Every structure is written in structure tokens, then in C-alpha cells.
Structure 1
């Protein structure tokens, strides 16, 4: 009953007000029978029967089937009902004697009609359900018209029918007016939309599994007809795996058309006149809706009369003005499969001839028709043109599918394979993550048709894809290094490979080794004549240099062309990547205003040419930047949406998980925070993300009292920095490590660590790490009793963090400084308000707890705004933690309040959200308080 609640409610309301008549209209498989079955379920006074598709239906057959079920409910049937004794032997003992024959067929028929009406009246409250009325005999329709014209007062009639299978235009033979006092309802069942199709698929599997691409493909293939959706899922080889696949179209193409669809389509074709059947066969081979002119040309000539016949019979439907085709692709497949091979091939050839003459040639369809009949040259020509057009239209998946299909054919000539392989690899890196694409490119490596230089290029592309798709650097680096050897002295081809090997954040390789690749690359760049390739190489290396803290990066960035100078799509795409990579590096080392400028430029350029991967990296960088600079409004929702969008791109997801974990920590949601930090430490994450996640985990565990666990993560993060020689990335782990050491009275270890960090930062451009170093020196001075130096260092650190735009970090440092002096409730109250403005729940609660702990009451909330049925900020904090699965004790600990207070807040939340218990509070309730 997915998606039919409104229709079922309307049907129930109708039969609840007898006398009533309800018609349920819809095409085959739309769910009419299922709807009336649900109506009948649990109702004691419903009698149901179905008409059958017989060449000569039995007179009154479906009505007699219904009445034969009602012997236990008859109440004083009148004398005229005796006319039914011979027709209803099951009820003969309860019916009066049969009346004498009248000798007049018309009079006998009239008495039969009266007998059926009288018997229905004797049943008392009854819902008579007749399914598939379009197959009923003429006598049945006439009786129904007679009964409904003067219905028994307690009778409701429900009839379902397919409009395309009616012999007349109306379900009862011709237009019929329901008399006054009779409830009339007409329900038209429509195909399901995407949401209902998803719910039906997930309901069949008992889990939320279906991917967006699979649902979209099923809607396209089945037109949203429930029966076809169900049969499609049942016929999948491995449903739980297949519904998650990004290769939905290929999977659906591989399953058979359901038997009922095949038989129905073929039966309708047999009933058509020859000329109309030819048009339908042409439509089946064409596969999509086409104009009447194109259909006639492929069919070999046809007229308006044949088209009218096809539309009236429901074989073809009008998809748009003068565009006709089958209702759904499955029906077209069923007809196409039934055609004799020679005739089907002839129609494909005609399709190529007709479609190639159109002003706007449907290139992909031309390729498919040509392939179907072995027209190899035409297939390759149209297929390659279609792939180029798809790439230009930013439909990268379609371009990849077309190119892969041609390359995988072993009869394609080597020169064609080499050209197509280069195009496939180029498109693979342009689009978003797709494991199938990685597999396809890997398959090319062993293709004997590839020339040596092309094979080297494929190894290069494969290495780049490995880095992006899996986050595993070792094999990727090996592939790229091998490609460089194969490409020999071709600087324009090896420059990009060298550029990737020079990127510092992709592996734990020491930065000194990557600096060596940069030096080699400088020599190669001087010999590269193409500005596009130079831009591509700079797009990779400039961000890497900035991440290394190279002060010369901005001077080198002047070699990039300005956005106004570029017009060629590839160069625009590389320039977009350059700005987005610089933005990413800026957020790690501390140039936050420059990061925003670079993100805006990069996204604008990416939008000009359609570069989804570049856009994804920029959006993830923007999330991290907004976290760092305290712009947290709506950040939760953005992270959740981006995680859904880039679910199949692990490196991006780990960046989003890191930002989500930072946010969860500030709000006391430790479960979510721990989950996000652990994701950030996975092999898919870049090295800076792994370092920052280790620092986040260290701070989280320290707050929870797990000093040993905190130290393990701190040491892990610092070890990554030492191994890389990347102290410019230390701002998100060294402060937590200092807190960890000081909690264990290890000031000497802190001193050694800060000395090492100071030496590592010498000569680098790393403002965030330098600011963090000053803050750590302040913490060390305070811990060793040098309070004057601590105050000066804190003041400097707070000022630097504020100038950088790091409002949250600056507020945290101000709180640290405040706790090094005698308690000042005014300062703590001001800090609490600063935290509140950011949304840092835990920090604000800690400050207020500090005020209470020194015996000063917190300011009264009386006089402040009332929230009515909406949740107050504190109630939202509690509700968010409840939804995350925290116990009252954990919430109390996170928010520095008593368990009793938490219980009071939970009770208020339940009341305002109309939730019966804490288990009924859901995240969507927090977006629309006061309603469920």
C-alpha cells in the first residue's frame, strides 16, 4: 500500500456512506486490486469477485460469483429472488421457489435484474467489489446500471477497471448519471513518484538501501507502476547489492521483462490491424517517444487512422505534443524481443537512415541502432560523437558509458582504442567517484591493443584515479612512477605525474622527498609549450607548496592566467582546481581570508565548465573554513547534505566527518564526535585530516578523563608530523598534546615538543601553527609558575587568533587565561555569551558552571523572551543529545547540570514536540518544533 493512503481513505469514506458507488480507474499493474483488497481486509460485509479475460464472458458471471458467497447473510429474500435458484445452487435451500416462466426473453431479463437487486437488498450492509470491470459481459454492466439507478439503502458498489481496455468510453457501457442520494466517488490511480518507488523498494528489502541512481533508473524503466517495480526488484540477481549499485541501468538491462508484461504486450499487438502494428513495432525498435513523421518513416508509411487506433487502444501514449511511444520501456522491450530477427534488423537500419537525416541527430541512439545490426563504422563514429557531446554537456557518466562500451569490444581497431582510451581517462577524472570507472580504467592496462605511449598515459591516469578514489597512496605512487618511466622524454605527459608525486598531503612520505619532485618539475615546466598543461601542473603544485609553508607560493601563483584570460574548457577546469587547491592549503596553514577568495573564484570557474569533483573539494574546504572561523549556523545540515552528495568519495567524506566531529565536540555530542574523529583517522583521509583527527580525539578523551587513550592519539598525531617534517600542520594536534602532557605533569616533554615545533616552523609561512605555538608557550609558562610571561603570551596568542578570524579558538584561549587568575564572574559570563553566540554548548555550560562553583548565582532568565511551543536553545541542546543516544547522566556531564535538571528539560521537550517518550524525539522534530 505504499503511496496509496489518500486513495484508500477516500474509498473507505465512500463505502461508509451507503448507498454508494465508487469507481477505481488505472492502467494494468497500477495497484487497483491491491487497493480494494486492503479495503476488504478485516471488513465482514465485503464480497469480492474478479472478471476474467474470456473471449465470451459468462452472462452475469461475476455477479453470481459474488452472490454465491453470501448464504450465511441472507435475510428474508423476496419472492422474485427465486428466479436465481438455478443460477445459485449454493443458495437454493434459502431461496423461495422459482417463479413460473414468462415466455418472453425481455421479461425474463427484467425479472433477473430485479431478483439480483432484491437479493442484494436481503444481504443487509454490503460492499460489493467487482475487480477488472473492463472484462465484464454486457449483462453484468446492464444489471449494475439497473441496481445503481435505485440501489438498496445499505449497498456500496466498488468497481475497478482499465480505461484502455474498455469497449466503450464508460465503465458501465455509456455515460451514466448516479441518482441523488447516492454517494459517488471516482478514484484515478496514478504512477508512483520517486519517493514512493524508493519506499516500495526499501519496504520489499526490509532496509533503507536503494541508491538515488537505482531509484531513478527503476522509475524510468517502469514509469512508476507498482507491479513493475515489484517484479523488477524480485528479478534482480542480488537485490541487496544491486539496489545500492551505481550501475543501475546496466543491471536493469540484464533482467528479463516480467511474463505478464510480455504476454499483455504481445496480446495487444496481435489484436491490432497490420498497418497499426507496423507503427507499434517501429516504436518498439526506436525505444523512445518519437514524432508521427519519424514513426511513419521507420514503419514504411502510415496514416492518422493508425496512430489514432494505437493511442485509443493504449498501445502508444502521447509523452509530449506529437511525441508518441510505449507507456514504459519494459513494454517496448517486450515487443522488440518478439519481432523476427530479419524484420527487427530492418527496422534498426531504417532507424539509422531516418534519424541520421534529422537536423539535430540523436547521436547516442544512432550509435545504439548501428551497433544492433553490426554497422561497425557507423557505431564508432556516432558513439564517439555522442561521448564528446555528453562530455560537453557535462554528462560525464554518459560519456564514460559510451566510451567504455566501444573500448570493451574486441573487434574495435587498435588505433580507435588508443584514441578512445585517452578520452575515457580524461572523463574519468572529471566526474565524481565511481568504483566501476576505476575498474574500467584498470582493465585497459592489460589491453594488448594499446600503444606503448598510450599505455603509459593510462598508467598515469589510473594512478591519479587510485589516489582520488581509494586514498591509498602506495599503489598509486607506483603506477605514476611506472608511467613516468614509460613516457620517457615526453615532458608534456610526465609533468602531471611528477606534480602528483610532489603533493605533500597524499602520503606519509617526508616532505623533503616531495620537494625533490618539485625541483625536477621546475626543470620540466620550462619545456612545456602548452599554457593549459602549465596551468594543470600549477594547479597541483601551488597548493602543495603552500601546504609545505613555502613563502614563495604566492609569487609563483602569479604565473596562473587570470579567469578572464581563459576560454578553453580544460584550462578553465584546471584553473578552477588551482584556486580550490590553494583554498584548501590556506585553511590548513592559516590564510583564511585568502581561502574565501580562492573558493569563490574556484567555484565560479568550475560552474562554467561543470567540474563536479572540483566543486566537491571546494565545498568540503568551505565547511572546514566555516568551522574554523566560527560560522556555524546551519553547518550541521550542510555537512549532512554534502555527505549524502559525495557518499562515494571517501577522502571528501573524511574531511566532512572531521568538521562534523569538531562541531559535535563543542556541543557535547561525544558519540558522534568520536565516530567522526575515527573516520578522519582512516587510510582514506589525507595526512592533515589524520593529524587533526588525532588531535580532536586527544582533546575529546581528555575531557572524558581517559588520559591514557588521549596520550596514544596525541603521540600518533605528533609522529605523523615528525615523519613528514610538516610542523606547519601542527596547529590542530600540538595544543591538545601539550594539555595531555601537562595533565601528567610532564612540563619537560612539553618544552622539548615546543622547541622541536619552533625549529620546524623556522622560515615557513604557517600563521596558524605559529599562533598555536604561542598559545602552547602560554600554557607551559602558566604551568611552570611564570604567570607574568603566561599573561603576555596569552594576550599575544588571543590577539593573533582574533586577527586570523579564529573566534572560537580565541575565546577558548581567553577562557584559559581567565582561569589562570582569580575567578572573575563578569569575565566568565562574557565568555559564556561569546560561546553561546557561536553555538558552543559545552564551553558555555562550563563557564556557567565555573560561576556557580564560586557561589555566585547565574543570572535569572526571567524577563527574557518566552519560547512558547518552540524549543529554547538549551532545550534544543538537550534534545540534540537525546536524539544522539546519550543518557541523562551523559547529558548532565556534558552540560554541567544535574540529572534532575536534564529530566526536566527532557519532559519539556517531549511536551513541546508531542512525543510520548524520549525515544520518539527525532532530528527532524528539531527543525519544526511544536509539530509532529
Structure 2
């Protein structure tokens, strides 16, 4: 097993390779190549200074550099005079060449070298003269070593005599000597590593390096190295970064403490936070924190204890109030020691949460409770009300009434901020308390059920709601609601369709005297994009549900029901939906916030349905109204679904500028909701068009979620088409077969020909690529039959394109030309510029050699940002012998990246190899290598791994 791997059987780790310090290592090696030199490496504890110099020593040995001699200063109350220097020099007997007479002054200090040094001189009797004699002896002995590198670690703990002799040596250093010193700035006894401001003299190569904590990319790389596989989710890496502040030592120890590393590091969204919250503070980190606390005065330590209880950075006033006896001087001592840091202006907390947890865990129970009581009192007195903090402090202090009050308030704040996971956790926590009254339990259980279908992934909500089934405090009507939502969750989250149906049937029986809840449950069941029931069955269910709309007692209930059923009808292409939409009230007629919420949901659901079947202009109209309504009532989940739909519409219509960053932000914002499957689909489409194969595959795979049986069918079908199309474009026909089969099976089993527009063209391409024309014909015929009487503009446009492909494959050129023109016009009419351009290229045939046509296609692809397609057309144009001008005209770009260099840089940032970049951009590997050199030079990075965009 390679270093840096976790044994999957034992869960044990080995040391990972050095991560993220290529530039610093290169600077070190370069300095040593130009002696005399002095390199000072600064960085906080655990940031990787020792690892850097260890890698440096290994690299120096491999490259035939001078001998590296290493010594470490020790944190002693009274350091030994010249201790680290004498430790280093004692190792150098084999290097000595004719040590001069002055070196005899070190004979008594270096018994290991006594037989190689001149006799010790007579004492001078003057301490200053003796010190000067020792300084000269050290310099002359270093000169006698010849080419050498002296590595002195932890210089903050060196004695003053060592600092002085180093200043003396570096003022006139031996010509072949290099000194590398590491230190912690916060622990220096003065402002500089050598005791006072020291300037490297002319003729000496001087380098100052500062090692910063890792960012998310390096944290992710380090975790992958530790577990031995590139499996860490970005969200987990981000959670680790927040927990550890990116300090490599803390990152490593935290990962080593995981219970199931290979599973845990894959955690997404809120699950990542939960995993880390369940990890005990590593003993090595706790010991380090305790050692640092031991150096503080008692009052300063009490201040850090208060900070650990508060949990978040606070003002000095709040810290002092909670600590009870602290003063500004004590805060200054805590900051100077590095225990606390100023997180933002005038707010102080721990450098990383692991340190805070270590201090918190060290507090005795009574002391912890006392500090929580003080924290509650201090925060209650603030002008603003930090309800989440007050909730946590009230619970920890045993203040039940206050805890209950602030739990509900904090849940509402979390819900308004779209943090459904936190809202659910707060409600569940109160419900889990045996002392919570039946009245409160019933109220909160109802609230929890209201969150049931907001889409928390991985069975999170299912487990929460299931726990309520056995709660004896629930009234019959509330218990019936729990059965209803539990059944729906079983089907949607886990794919347990039969068991879910049983729970829903039971609930509908219990809800006999609550027609509004019965109807909403039935409407949710009738949603056509989930479950194994065919679209025809869903339509029959929708008919039954809508049959009682007019019998509901209030317009608000009718609007709530229509919000679900209208979108459900339209997304399956029911043409009668357009008349039924008129049953929705006008936004100007609605005042009730709850009805406004349902009206917003109705408009956003209709926008989503339009976006799937191909009514894109209508989708934007519904979307604009839906977002306005949702923002009026603060419905963050509805806004989230609207943003996902808008992103997909922007992709389809060719508005790709900044779309990638927007998708990343949305995926992060809504990581705990199932609507991210839609966002991952759009991310996969965009990445595939840009040649980011790995990212595209990861995104397409993420669309299925943890329970493939419960996936959203339109998303799953389109993701299968996206994967198949990407593989076919790369010539990986055999690998595309699995995805084509899966997507077509989904369409056939569901009868979902209305959603075939993102799959059918790729499926037909696959069958034609393997020479199975009959299978392609059958699929086209099935689609045509399935679309009869269905409102499906996108699927019909895709069907036209497939007929053109079939005609071309059977050499019916005249018919193929006619059908391609029809298909291209249909796609342009829908506003699908990218797909229309691809069809225009395909219509020209495989033998296209017209340079003007290829140049026009290239410009169209470049305008969209379709990197792979543009590169393919350039490649074909080059093969004709025609020059392909830059879209901006021929000019120099100076220090800016050219368009092609931007493409290479983006693929480098995505971790692609030169061979993969060459394939994506249709370039030779040699050309890519030249581009990589230019990109690194213009971005001023020493390694391809440091390229960031």
C-alpha cells in the first residue's frame, strides 16, 4: 500500500504526501542553489514547517545538494547556551576539512569532535572576549564543513546566545553555507526571529517564507491522500476547513479520528457537519491546546473558557461579562499566546473549532453550566437577539422554559434562512425531550410534518418523522398526519414504494374528518415525477384529486391543491392544463400569506414543468411571477426551486456566462435539499460542454441521490442522456451503452416519452454507432407513438433530429437535409441555440471541409463557451489547411491569458492531465505542454496543481 493510504480493513493511516507547498519547496531549493543563503520559514503551530524542511532535505539528497544538518530547539524554561547549534555541529565530524585554530574554542563544547579540533586556547578572563572567540569559532567551524545546509527548527525557543551568534555568522557567512530556520511568530520573545530587525547583507541570498493554512482545495487533497482515494466531497472538505481552520496537523488528526473514513469523507451537505460533530477531539490536538493554556495567567485562562462556552467570536465586553473577572490585559495575553484570535473587527474566538471543543471538553460540568448561565444572561441583554445561541445556552444551563421558547424561535429563523436541516434538528430535539408537554409536542410535530417534503437527502427526514409514530403524546389527528408524511417520505427518499403506500392508505383512513389534509396527501401522491407508477396512472390520480377541488371549504385550500396538480399535469404534457390554469387566483386578489405561498408554489411548479417539456418563454413568465410571490412571503424553499429552474433555462438558452459559479453557489446553498439533483444535472451539462469530463461525470452521478429508486425521473432520464452524449463525443461507445439502456428503461417503464428530449438523440446516436439501425428505428417509432396527443415541444424537436440522423445513416441525403432543416428550425424556435448549432454541424456531415462554414460554427460555439465543440471545429478547419483566426483577431495578450490558455487553465484547475486536455481541445500533447508552461508563467504559479481560476 502506498504512503498516505488508509487500510480499508483496519482503518489505519500512513503519512500523506506533502500537499500544497510546491512553491515554498521550490523557493527553498533555489535559495540553497545560490549560497551563501538564509531562509526564514514562519508559520503557526501545526501548519507544516517541519514537513516542509523534511521534504526539502529529501529533495536535496536526491538532487545531490550539499549535506543537510538538522537540529531543533526545545521549549525549555532555560534553554542551553548555543544548544541547537552545538547539536548540529556535533553531527559533522565526517565533513570537517582543516578546521582553523579559532575552532579550538569549541573543543570542550563538542566532545564528539574533540579529536578533530585544535587544542582549546587559554581562557581570556574577559566574558565579552570569550563570547567573541566562540562566535568566531562557530563561523570558522561552519566554514570548515564546506558546502552544507544548516536547518534550525523552532527558532522561537532558541536561547539569546544562539540568536546572536547567528547574526554574527550571517553578517559575513562562509561562502558555501545555507541556513534554514523555522519559527512561530506568535511565540518569539521579540519581534524578529534573530532577536531584532535583521537585514540579510548584500551578497547573501535571503528568503522569507510564510506558510499559510490550507484552503479547501488543499484540505480536500490532503484528506484524499490520507484515505488513499479521491473520494472526498467538496462539502466535507469545506466542513473540515471550518472545523480546523485549514491547519494541516489538525486536519490530519481530525481525519484520523473518523470512525469510517472511506464513508465519512463522502458526506454531503449537513451530513458532513454531523460527521465531524460526532468526532472526539483528537488527544494530540487536545494536549497541544492544554500546553498552550498552561502558559496563560489564571484570569486569561478563564477568559478562554468563556470563549469556548460562547462558541462563536464575541466582543471583549461579552467575553468579560461571561468570564466574570477578566480584563483587557487578559484578552491581550490570550491573543498574544495564539489561543484566541481576532476573527473579525473587535470579535475574538478560537483559531479553529477543534481548539474550542478541546477547551470546552476540559471544563467540569458545574463550571460549564455556570458559564452557560452567564452567557445566556449576557446575550439576553444585547440589543439584537441571537436566538440560536440563546437556545443552546438555555439548554446547556438546564433552563427548560427558555430553551423551549428559543428553540421554536430559532427554528423559525433557520427556516427563513433556508436552513431546513437546522430547523428540523431544533424541532426534533424538543420533541425528543420527555418533559415536553403534549400540547407543545403536537404543535411541533405538526411543524415538523410541514417540513417533511422540503427534500432533506439521505433519509434524514424519514428517520425524524418515523420516530414520531411511537410518541404517546400525539393526538389522533396529528398521528394521522405523521403517517401520511411518513408514507410520502418512504416513497420519495428511500424508494420504499409499497411500504409507503401502506402508510399513506392508513393515513387517509384516519384523516376522514380532515378533508383538506386528505386532499393534500392525495395530491402529493399523484406527483408524476416520482415513484414507479406510470404517467397514465398518475393522470388518473390527478383526475380523482381535482374532482373535489370545488368542494373544498376555502380558496386557500383550493390554491394549495392546484399548486401541486397543475404542475403535475403540465409536466406530463397534458394539453388541458392551459385551460385549468385559469382556476388559479390572480396575485392581486390574494392577501393571506399562506395562500400567497401556495400561489408562488403553483407558478414555480408550472415554470418547472414548462422547462422540462419545452415551453421556455412561458417558463420565464411563470418563474418571474413565482419568485416575486415567494419573496413577498419569504418562502425560501420555493425560491430555491425557482433558482434551480432558472439555471437550467439559462443553460438551455445558451446564457452560460458565470453559470458555473452560480451553480456551485446554489449547490452549496441548497446542499441539504433534493432540488440539488436538478442543479447537478445542469452542472454536468455545462462541464461536459467545456471538456471537464471528471466534473461532468461526478455531477451526473450526483443526480441520482442516495436512493436511485426514488430519483426524480426527468432528472434521471436527462442525466443518462448527458452521460451517454459525453461518452459518445469521446469515442467511448461501449461505455455509453449502460447509460442509454438505463435511460430508455426509465422512459419505457414510466411511459415518459414526454421527457425523452434529453435522451432520445443520444440513444439513437448510440444505436447508429454500433450499427443497430433497427433499434434506432424502433426507438423513434415508440417515441412518435408515445407523443401522440402530448404537449411536448422539446421531445418533438428531438424526434425530428433523430429522424434526420436515421435518414443520413441510411444514405437518404435529400430526406436527411429536409429533416435537418426542420429539426434546426424547431430548436431555434425554442431558443435552444447550442443544440441548434450542434445540429447544423451534424447536418453538414462527417466530411465537412468548408473552411467558412467551420469558422462560422467555431464562432457560434465560442460565443456560447462550448469549449469542446469549438475545439473540434478548429481541428477540422486545420485539417483543411485553412488558417483559423482568433475570434478577437490576431493580437498579443501580454500577461493576460489568451482564450485557448483560459481553456487550458480551467481544465488544469479541474485536475485534468495533459493527455485529457489534449483530447478535450483536439490538440497534440506537445502543444498542451507548451500551453501549460505559458499558463503557469502568466498566473505566477510553480506547479500545475496551483492553478486556480
Q: Does residue 166 of structure 2 align to residue 140 of structure 1?
A: no
1:102 corresponds in structure 2 to 124
8 Å contact kept, 1:484–1:494: yes
Cα separation, 2, equivalents of 1:663 and 1:107? 72
1:21 to 16, 24, 38: 38
**Structural mapping, 1:505-524, within 5 Å:** 505-509=529-533, 513-522=537-546, 524=548
Describe the superposition over 1:645-670 as per-residue Cα deviations: whole angstroms up to 9, x where unpaired.
98887887489769978998999x9x
1:349 corresponds in structure 2 to 373
Q: Does residue 86 of structure 2 align to residue 58 of structure 1?
A: no
Deviation at 1:96, TM superposition (A): 1.0
Deviation at 1:227, TM superposition (A): 0.9
**Structural mapping, 1:404-483, within 5 Å:** 404-430=428-454, 433-470=457-494, 473-483=497-507
Deviation at 1:367, TM superposition (A): 2.0
- What is the DSSP-based 3-state SS (H/G/I as helix, E as strand, rest coil) of the residue aligned with 1:914? helix
2:27 corresponds in structure 1 to 10
Change (3 A) 1:738 1:117: closer
Greater CA drift, 26-35 or 248-257? 248-257
1:540 corresponds in structure 2 to 564
2:930 to 897, 908, 914: 914
Q: Does residue 310 of structure 2 align to residue 286 of structure 1?
A: yes
Change (3 A) 1:590 1:82: closer
8 Å contact kept, 1:470–1:650: no
Cα separation, 1, equivalents of 2:836 and 2:232? 45
Change (3 A) 1:476 1:830: farther
Q: Does residue 361 of structure 2 align to residue 337 of structure 1?
A: yes
8 Å contact kept, 1:285–1:348: yes
- What is the DSSP-based 3-state SS (H/G/I as helix, E as strand, rest coil) of the residue aligned with 1:86? coil
Cα separation, 1, equivalents of 2:70 and 2:222? 26
Change (3 A) 1:24 1:830: closer
- What is the DSSP-based 3-state SS (H/G/I as helix, E as strand, rest coil) of the residue aligned with 1:558? helix
Deviation at 1:322, TM superposition (A): 2.3
- What is the DSSP-based 3-state SS (H/G/I as helix, E as strand, rest coil) of the residue aligned with 1:265? helix
- What is the DSSP-based 3-state SS (H/G/I as helix, E as strand, rest coil) of the residue aligned with 1:151? coil
2:511 to 487, 490, 514: 487
Deviation at 1:52, TM superposition (A): 1.2
Describe the superposition over 1:759-817 as per-residue Cα deviations: whole angstroms up to 9, x where unpaired.
x63xx656667889999999999999x99999999999998777666789999999999
8 Å contact kept, 2:253–2:284: no
- What is the DSSP-based 3-state SS (H/G/I as helix, E as strand, rest coil) of the residue aligned with 1:319? strand
**Structural mapping, 1:71-470, within 5 Å:** 71-246=93-268, 247-430=271-454, 433-470=457-494
1:555 to 541, 564, 579: 579
Deviation at 1:66, TM superposition (A): 0.6
Cα separation, 2, equivalents of 1:377 and 1:288? 24
8 Å contact kept, 1:646–1:653: no
Stretches of structure 1 lacking an aligned partner (at least 5 in a row): 889-901, 917-926
- What is the DSSP-based 3-state SS (H/G/I as helix, E as strand, rest coil) of the residue aligned with 2:99? coil
Cα separation, 1, equivalents of 2:849 and 2:401? 82
Cα separation, 1, equivalents of 2:145 and 2:87? 15
- What is the DSSP-based 3-state SS (H/G/I as helix, E as strand, rest coil) of the residue aligned with 1:187? strand
Describe the superposition over 1:477-515 as per-residue Cα deviations: whole angstroms up to 9, x where unpaired.
443333222222212222221112223343453556444
Cα separation, 2, equivalents of 1:481 and 1:66? 80
Cα separation, 1, equivalents of 2:701 and 2:292? 61
Cα separation, 1, equivalents of 2:287 and 2:55? 27
TM-score (norm 1): 0.77
8 Å contact kept, 1:431–1:613: no
- What is the DSSP-based 3-state SS (H/G/I as helix, E as strand, rest coil) of the residue aligned with 2:221? helix
Cα separation, 1, equivalents of 2:342 and 2:690? 57
8 Å contact kept, 1:279–1:296: yes
Change (3 A) 1:532 1:181: farther
8 Å contact kept, 1:714–1:736: no
Greater CA drift, 119-128 or 621-630? 621-630
Deviation at 1:176, TM superposition (A): 4.1
Describe the superposition over 1:653-707 as per-residue Cα deviations: whole angstroms up to 9, x where unpaired.
489769978998999x9xx99x979999974455566778999999999999999
8 Å contact kept, 2:700–2:722: no
Cα separation, 1, equivalents of 2:725 and 2:339? 67
Give the RMSD, CA atoms, in angstroms: 5.9
8 Å contact kept, 1:508–1:687: no
Change (3 A) 1:653 1:913: farther
Cα separation, 1, equivalents of 2:807 and 2:406? 73
Cα separation, 2, equivalents of 1:171 and 1:324? 26
- What is the DSSP-based 3-state SS (H/G/I as helix, E as strand, rest coil) of the residue aligned with 1:49? strand
Change (3 A) 1:261 1:664: closer
8 Å contact kept, 2:315–2:346: yes
TM-score (norm 2): 0.76
2:3 corresponds in structure 1 to none
8 Å contact kept, 2:721–2:758: yes
Change (3 A) 1:834 1:605: farther
Deviation at 1:293, TM superposition (A): 1.4
Deviation at 1:32, TM superposition (A): 1.8
Cα separation, 2, equivalents of 1:349 and 1:524? 55
Describe the superposition over 1:45-79 as per-residue Cα deviations: whole angstroms up to 9, x where unpaired.
22111111223322222111111000011111122
**Structural mapping, 1:633-644, within 5 Å:** none
- What is the DSSP-based 3-state SS (H/G/I as helix, E as strand, rest coil) of the residue aligned with 1:39? helix
Greater CA drift, 343-352 or 723-732? 723-732
Cα separation, 2, equivalents of 1:66 and 1:865? 62
Cα separation, 2, equivalents of 1:216 and 1:17? 40
Deviation at 1:542, TM superposition (A): 0.3
1:48 corresponds in structure 2 to 70
8 Å contact kept, 1:815–1:828: no
Change (3 A) 1:757 1:14: closer
Deviation at 1:298, TM superposition (A): 1.3
Q: Number of aligned residue pairs: give it.
A: 892
- What is the DSSP-based 3-state SS (H/G/I as helix, E as strand, rest coil) of the residue aligned with 2:120? coil
Which structure's relative contact order is higher, taking Cα pairs within 8 Å and 6+ residues apart?
2
- What is the DSSP-based 3-state SS (H/G/I as helix, E as strand, rest coil) of the residue aligned with 1:504? coil
Deviation at 1:81, TM superposition (A): 1.7
8 Å contact kept, 2:878–2:884: no
8 Å contact kept, 1:832–1:845: no
1:35 to 52, 71, 80: 52
Greater CA drift, 767-776 or 233-242? 767-776
Change (3 A) 1:661 1:99: closer
Cα separation, 2, equivalents of 1:257 and 1:654? 37
Change (3 A) 1:565 1:748: closer
Stretches of structure 2 lacking an aligned partner (at least 5 in a row): 1-17, 893-897, 933-943
- What is the DSSP-based 3-state SS (H/G/I as helix, E as strand, rest coil) of the residue aligned with 2:246? coil
Cα separation, 2, equivalents of 1:173 and 1:702? 65
8 Å contact kept, 2:36–2:174: yes
Change (3 A) 1:666 1:832: farther
8 Å contact kept, 1:471–1:650: no
Structure of larger gyration radius: 1
Q: Does residue 550 of structure 2 align to residue 526 of structure 1?
A: yes
Cα separation, 2, equivalents of 1:59 and 1:614? 70
Cα separation, 2, equivalents of 1:757 and 1:366? 58
- What is the DSSP-based 3-state SS (H/G/I as helix, E as strand, rest coil) of the residue aligned with 2:930? coil
**Structural mapping, 1:695-706, within 5 Å:** none
Change (3 A) 1:22 1:643: closer
